[in-house]
Amino acid sequence: KVNPSVWVYIYIYIYKCTHVCEVEDFRRRLKYFFMNPCEKYRARGRKPWKLTLQILKIAIITIQLVSFGLSNEMMVSFKEESLLTFKNLFLKGYNDQHRGIHTLYTKTDVYDHIHYAIDRYMNLENLTVGNHAYERVDGLYTPLSLCKEFYRNSSIFPGNETFDIDPHVEKVCIAIYPTIDTESWPRRLTFSIDFKRLLSVNIYLKLRAINLQTVRHNELPDCYLFNITIIFNNHAHSGRIKTEIINDVGIYECKDWNVADTSGKNDYMLLMLDSLVIIACITSLILCSRSVKNGIQLQFYNTFFQTYFSKPVPWADRMEFVNGWYILIIVSDTLTIAGSILKIGIQTKFLTNYDVCSILLGTATMLVWVGVIRYLGFFKKYNILILTLRAAFPNVIRFCCCAAMIYLGYCFCGWIVLGPYHDKFRTLDKVTECLFSLINGDDMYATFKAMRDKTYLVWLFSRVYLYSFISLFIYMVLSLFIALITDTYETIKSCQEDKVPVSELQAFIAECRDHPESGRYLTDNQTASCCGCFG
């Protein structure tokens, strides 16, 4: 008969052994979760599909972006050159070297410029060297619209310092068709302007053109519709009427086309490439979402740690299970899928929003290439950059929030005080750009020089303002910012040299001595290995 105290010792032994087994099992699972793809392959023989897919995705997304960039470049250049052409055609006295605002100061100049623009439009096909043509709808020409916007009623007498005004705005338009006799149209035009009530004179016209330069790059030409607006702006009533041209462009698929030795194979190749990118990104999105899900499931570590060690888990250790690289890839894949769908729509001419597509594909490609750093981090010498950025990020955010309060204070002060006297401080967005440039040492002397001819009080304030800002942000804030990152770098570097884990989680995992080749990682259920406790 066995003594009862022996059973107690046996029970305690079994409990401790089971406890040790559970801890080692969970520690092994955590170590496997944080292994790189090569180590996981050696541990369980699983091929690194995600790594292979990411490398493939980098290649095809870059090819897709380059092909779209070349097409987008031709579209942008055609739009810019067309706008410059319209300025030379319809603005009297304009030339390519003119970079300022086209302005008018007399009534005669306004009438001359209006008649000049209409006359050039009426004789467009005899003047232009491009393939511009009038727009037709159901066989009828679209007319040019000459509109004026003015206050409903006003009686203004600056000499007596009196005025009576009705601020409601009215608009009157006249339609001029390009089919009428070009010599008789001025006699038919009855268009008078009351400049005291005038807000603006707008000329609306539509022209069509074909971008033929894409043929040289094995792309089918696009048909363009230019919605041109010539604006004579008199909102300020300062005696200075500003003239500008706004060009709203629509891009469409040409109705009938024939290009020798072209069958559209290049378009089919691009569509196949876009489809391949979408499939690769969907696959990557699924795999990375699954990995994120596995990481969230391992949050059981929090309960496990508190149960067996009676210690709370730091927030930084909890975030270790949320892999930021997978989140980055998921965002990148989502943007790439949306951008690729838009790109297919642009190639098939169902959509023409190049700007949105460029933003989506450009941002996605940037994130994909940034994600390459993750794979460089598998090498210890390159991993220090990632560790430094991750460790310094919380402190950097807190530091930037404090510095932003001072920065915004200087922005508002410079805008309200120096704005009336300095072009770089005229608007709030210009102030932020100017001060940010000063922090980086750009254009300092020109900023000081622009305030020399102002009143003494403003000049003195500008000196105190600029000297204090530059001294505070360059010599103190920027230096502290650099020191913050440098200290973090030195801490991470010393920990790597001494092989000291930088967190409790890493210290917990480091106690697992099983190498990837040991065979202990071959199955997810490692309870059978606990039998060694009773051996």
Tokens of residue 343, six digits = 């790109």
CB-CB neighbours of 123 under 10 Å: 13
pTM beyond 0.85: no
- Phi, psi dihedral angles at 211 (to 5 degrees): -85, 100
Rounded-to-integer distance, Cα 332 and Cα 41, Å: 26
Question: Of 300, 296, 284, 376, whose CA–CA distance to 332 is shortest?
Answer: 284
Q: Check whether 412 has a pLDDT greater than 90.
A: yes
Find, among 174, 111, 112, the residue nearest to 143 by Cα: 174
342-384 tens-digit pLDDT: 888 877 767 767 788 889 999 999 988 888 777 776 666 667 7
**CA dihedral angle for residue 212, residue 218, residue 219, residue 221, rounded to 10 degrees:** 20
Work out the widest C-alpha separation in the chain, in whole angstroms. 130
Find the angle CA(157)-CA(159)-CA(165) to the nearest 5 degrees.
20
Q: Which residues pair with 134 in a beta bridge?
A: 207
**Average pLDDT of the chain, as a whole number:** 78
Residue 55's pLDDT is what?
Answer: 84
Of 237-241, 429-433, 436-440, 526-530, the least confident: 526-530
pLDDT of residue 7: 39
pLDDT band at 475 (very low <50, low <70, confident <90, very high): confident
Give the long-range contacts of residues 390-393, CB within 8 A, separation 24 or more: 390/324, 391/488, 391/491, 391/492, 391/502, 392/484, 392/485, 392/488, 392/489
d(CA 530, CA 21): 5
Q: Evaluate if residue 523 carries a pLDDT over 60.
A: no
Neighbouring CB atoms inside 10 A of 100's CB total 5
- Whole-angstrom distance, CA of residue 477 vs CA of residue 496: 29
- pLDDT at residue 331 greater than cutoff 80: yes
User: Is the CA virtual torsion 443, 448, 454, 457 positive or negative?
Assistant: positive
pLDDT in tens, 71-96: 888 888 888 888 889 988 898 888 76
Asked if the model's pLDDT at residue 36 lies above 50, the reply is yes
Whole-number pLDDT of residue 503: 63
What tokens does 284 get?
Answer: 């990557």
Q: Contacts for 281-285 with beta carbons within 8 Å, 24 or more apart? A: 281/57, 281/333, 281/336, 281/337, 281/340, 282/333, 282/337, 283/53, 284/50, 284/53, 284/54, 284/57, 284/329, 284/333, 285/329, 285/330, 285/333, 285/334, 285/337
Residue 444 token pair? 């300092």
**Residue type at 23 in one-letter notation:** V
Task: Give helix then strand counts, H and E, for the chain.
Answer: 18, 9
| Closest C-alpha to 118, from 82, 149, 147 | 147
